[in-house]
Homo-oligomer: A and B are copies of this chain.
Amino acid sequence: MEIAKLGEFGLIDHLTKDIKPVNESTLYGVGDDCAVLHYPESEVLVTTDMLMEGIHFDLTYITMQELGYKAAMVNISDIFAMNGTPRQMTVSLAIGKRLKVEDIEAFYDGLRKACEKWSVDVVGGDTTASYTGLAISITCIGEAKKEDIVYRNGANETDLVCVTGDLGAAYMGLQLLEREKSVFYQQVDAMNKKLQEAHKAGNAKLVEHLQQEARKLNDFQPDFAGKEYLLQRQLKPEARGDVINLLRENNIHPTAMMDISDGLSSELLHICKQSHCGCRVYEKNIPIDYQTAVMAEELNMNVTTCAMNGGDDYELLFTCPIGDHDKLDALESKGIKQIGYITKEELGARLISRDNKEFDITAQGWNALKE
């Protein structure tokens, strides 16, 4: 269905009619100038993210449903990264002419799935037109007790540095998608050339045959067997609320924490800068999945570089007092890995390689505004 048929208010009504609040703190959601929230004894956490077509996502790779899921999840991840509980979300979309109502429904469907997973209420937003691509802006609101909030600036000398899950897989997933896309376009280009030549030569039978072959190209299904995990990490990231719960259950209070969106190197430097400290991270301790390692090998890339600088993992990076060492050891099987320790600021942020050499950690992570 054409979006212009419904108009802005029609579209918003249509998309939000099934949205029922689940949080007591959501007094009033969609439908007025503002949403109204109630937090009697907690602090309110607010995070916001803007995603632009062509910069942050490519609709030839990702479905609208996956995009909605991911857009919600990366904001939910920021609330967990403060040790908070996500509660509400606002969603603004600027929609190009190319998209149909069904596309926006699919986006909302994915978004709602992510929100349901963590009991987040969609409480408002804005839906408007765009002359070009799709633009998405999401704001997530959460709550936390004052004493529970974990900032980036609380790391202390001798603290342990930990990460969750494994790193670099989302980046490898992106490489894989880009490779398949370029293979596809190469095939299309080659086919177009053959067709032109057949036309020139006036070979009607060959033209017909090639046209049949060309139609088959549209059904092009790349073979991702054995690489499903990489794709899933890129297309369907999960916020690590489970780890937040695990830390609480085990009475572990991180001193500093953030989520890994731009790459481990970049995030380590943020924590070091804001906590006025340095760090030592051991290459051998960085958790890397088997599929990530295989794909890096295939692409002739250094897997540690990928894990340190690839973005989009949405795992947690945190620091803990050294006294938590045994408790953390017990959680290694649940995906919490100690990768190094915090030092004095003047010692810098350094990576210790497998052969015991030290390298400065530099942010080569993803930065949309750098050339």
Q: Knowing A92-B137, A367-B9, A369-B95 are in contact, say whether A84-B34 is a contact too (CB < 8 A).
A: yes
Task: Report the copy number of this chain in the oligomer.
Answer: 2
Alpha-carbon gap, A9 to B369, bound state (A): 9
Q: Knowing A8-B369, A369-B6 are in contact, say whether A49-B82 is a contact too (CB < 8 A).
A: no
Q: Is A209 an interface residue (CB 8 A)?
A: no
Task: Select A129's contact among B84, B137, B369, beta carbons within 8 Å.
Answer: B369
- CB proximity of A240 to chain B, nearest CB, Å: 13
Q: Is A290 an interface residue (CB 8 A)?
A: no
- CB proximity of A271 to chain B, nearest CB, Å: 10
Q: Knowing A28-B151, A39-B39 are in contact, say whether A368-B56 is a contact too (CB < 8 A).
A: no
Task: Select A369's contact among B45, B128, B142, beta carbons within 8 Å.
Answer: B128
* B-contacting 9-mer, from A118-126, A187-195, A338-346, A350-358: A118-126
Residue on B with the closest CB to A132? B132
Q: Knowing A93-B50, A137-B137, A367-B9 are in contact, say whether A36-B32 is a contact too (CB < 8 A).
A: no
In the complex, chain B residues whose CB is within 8 Å of the CB of A9: 367
Task: Select A33's contact among B43, B127, B259, beta carbons within 8 Å.
Answer: B259
- In chain A, positions 128-150 with a C-beta closer than 8 Å to chain B are 128-133, 135, 137, 139, 141-142, 144, 146, 149
Task: Select A48's contact among B31, B82, B94, B137, beta carbons within 8 Å.
Answer: B137
Beta-carbon contact of B46 and A88 below 8 Å: yes
Beta-carbon contact of A139 and B90 below 8 Å: yes
Alpha-carbon gap, A90 to B44, bound state (A): 14
Alpha-carbon gap, A152 to B92, bound state (A): 21
- CB proximity of A323 to chain B, nearest CB, Å: 25
22 residue pairs of the A-B complex, CB under 8 angstroms, read A4-B370, A8-B369, A8-B370, A32-B153, A33-B258, A34-B46, A35-B47, A36-B82, A36-B149, A39-B44, A46-B90, A46-B124, A50-B126, A50-B135, A52-B128, A52-B129, A52-B131, A55-B131, A128-B368, A132-B132, A132-B133, A137-B137
- CB proximity of A294 to chain B, nearest CB, Å: 32
Alpha-carbon gap, A293 to B78, bound state (A): 51
Beta-carbon contact of B47 and A33 below 8 Å: yes
Q: Is A40 an interface residue (CB 8 A)?
A: yes
In the complex, chain B residues whose CB is within 8 Å of the CB of A36: 43-45, 82, 144, 149
In the complex, chain B residues whose CB is within 8 Å of the CB of A322: none
Alpha-carbon gap, A290 to B247, bound state (A): 66
- CB proximity of A51 to chain B, nearest CB, Å: 8
Beta-carbon contact of A367 and B133 below 8 Å: no
Interface mask (A63-93 → B, CB under 8 Å = 1, otherwise 0): 0000000000000001101101000101011
Task: Select A370's contact among B7, B125, B132, beta carbons within 8 Å.
Answer: B7
Residue on B with the closest CB to A370? B7
Alpha-carbon gap, A28 to B79, bound state (A): 14
Beta-carbon contact of A128 and B92 below 8 Å: no
Beta-carbon contact of A31 and B152 below 8 Å: yes
In the complex, chain B residues whose CB is within 8 Å of the CB of A45: 34-37
Beta-carbon contact of B49 and A126 below 8 Å: yes
